[in-house]
Amino acid sequence: MMPGGDSAPAIFLLFVLNVLTCLPLGHASLPLVINTWPFKDATEAAWKSLQSGGTVLDAVEKGCGQCEEAQCDGSVGYGGSPDERGETTLDAMIMNGDTMEVGAVADLRRIKNAIGVARAVMERTTHTLLVGESASLFAENMGFTAEDLTTNKSLNIFLEWLKGNCQPNYRKNVFPDPSKYCGPYKPRAPVTDKQTRGHANVHSHDTIGMIAMDQGGRVAAGTSTNGMTHKVPGRVGDSPIAGAGAYADSSVGGAAATGDGDVMMRFLPSYLAVEQMRAGADPSAACETAISRIKRHYADFFGAIICANTTGHYGAACNKIAGFSQFRFTVSNSETVTSRVLHVDCF
Ligand code: SD4
């Protein structure tokens, strides 16, 4: 028998509840929707979907899809981030944390609803990732409409960039000097330039990464982005890569990342964060570990991550660099009434 007689279990339970509610995390409550950046309309679209009986996959698809239609900050959906040829291409993924199925598209052309196509890859093929023209053809066959993703805005961004000698760009060790001139480029020997130039910064961010969790702790996660402005055609970022852009496991929780995908995808931060939570870390600590791992190698990378566990606790972390000291993310759960934008101080 436990010390304290029959009332001991109840006291112990109260103690545990007290400890849980005092944790320095977001208030825990399920269901939960959490996403990167202050994209409240996306959060609310996902929340509404859950409330009307949708699954966590429906919620992630609706939430990210809302951002694609609304062209969130110009960095999600059509008409943003033109590549070196002026074309907007999209990356997206969705993951079912119950079955560990993933569907993703990268370098998707002429189709606006990238997260919808990602879900079709998951549900209508046994593959995980489709890319480029072939992904677009798949999408058309699945009933998605093909249309031009260029807008006056993206065309102007492209024309201004051409006028400014194609600055900034992502080339190195090529001729002519990419820090001064446009291409076409040829390889230049020797390969001496180790510098990473023109990487993502606070002005070229805003991928949506979203985690949705239902009352039963079922988890889905997803992302959608138009990637990096002036990217080399064919470039694929972290967003459509499972474990990099997002990860979900219904026995643990989920995570989603945003920022300089070229660097971040080398560390699978979303996978690392979920594994940290599996090992007992709270979501904030798990997020911090994922950021610290990247920081060790790229001290000034631009990036942030959100994490949530299946009790509905959540957290976030970001790397502090010039011009980026706070990261905002948005949460909906039964306590927030409507979606709430929160922030975390970067470290
Ligand atoms: C990418 N991670 O394509 C995306 C961009 C991004 O916040 O998240 N910006 O690299």
Distance between CA atoms of residues 254 and 222, nearest Å: 10
Q: What is the model's pTM?
A: 0.91
Q: What is the pLDDT of residue 205?
A: 63
CA of 153 to the centre of ligand 1 (A): 19
269 confidence band (pLDDT: 50, 70, 90): very high
CA of 207 to the centre of ligand 1 (A): 5
CA of 306 to the centre of ligand 1 (A): 14
pLDDT in tens, 95-126: 999 999 999 999 999 999 999 999 999 999 99
CA of 266 to the centre of ligand 1 (A): 13
Instruction: Write the residue with the smallest CA distance to atom 2 of ligand 1.
Output: 261
Query: Which domains are assigned to the chain?
Result: 27-151+198-345 (3.60.20.30)
- Whether the predicted pLDDT of 6 surpasses 80: no
- Whether the predicted pLDDT of 10 surpasses 80: no
Q: What is the pLDDT of residue 4?
A: 38
CA angle 118, 155, 64 (to 5 degrees): 25
Average pLDDT over residues 330-337: 88
CA of 59 to the centre of ligand 1 (A): 21
Q: What is the pLDDT of residue 3?
A: 35
**Which atom of ligand 1 is the closest one to the Cα of 36?**
7
**Which atom of ligand 1 is the closest one to the Cα of 258?**
8
**Which atom of ligand 1 is the closest one to the Cα of 235?**
3
Instruction: Write the residue with the smallest CA distance to atom 3 of ligand 1.
Output: 227
Distance between CA atoms of residues 314 and 254, nearest Å: 9
pLDDT in tens, 31-46: 999 999 999 999 999 9
pLDDT in tens, 297-313: 999 999 999 999 999 99
Site residues for ligand 1, CB cut-off 6 Å: 75, 200, 205-207, 225, 227-228, 237-239, 258-259, 261
CA of 172 to the centre of ligand 1 (A): 20
Among 199, 228, 301, 302, the mutation site with the greatest number of ligand 1 atoms within 8 A of its Cβ is 228
Peptide bond into 190 cis (omega under 30): yes
Among 37, 199, 260, 318, the mutation site with the greatest number of ligand 1 atoms within 8 A of its Cβ is 260
* Percent with pLDDT over 90 in the chain: 85
Q: Active site includes 207?
A: yes
**Which atom of ligand 1 is the closest one to the Cα of 260?**
10
Please choose, from the candidates 215, 233, 7, the residue with its C-alpha nearest in 3D space to the C-alpha of residue 109: 233
**Residue from 207, 229, 310, 311 carrying the catalytic annotation:** 207
Q: Which positions ≥6 away from 5 have C-beta within 8 Å?
A: none
The one-letter amino acid at 52: S
Instruction: Write the residue with the smallest CA distance to atom 7 of ligand 1.
Output: 205
**Which atom of ligand 1 is the closest one to the Cα of 207?**
8
pLDDT in tens, 122-158: 999 999 999 999 999 999 999 999 999 999 999 999 9
23 confidence band (pLDDT: 50, 70, 90): very low
**CB of 220 closer than 8 Å to CB of 103:** no
Quote the tokens at residue 324. Answer: 């980026």
Instruction: Write the residue with the smallest CA distance to atom 9 of ligand 1.
Output: 205
Please measure the distance between the N-terminal and C-terminal CA atoms of the chain and give it in whole angstroms: 47
Average pLDDT, the chain: 91
- Extended strands (E) in 13-162: 32-36, 90-96, 101-108, 129-131
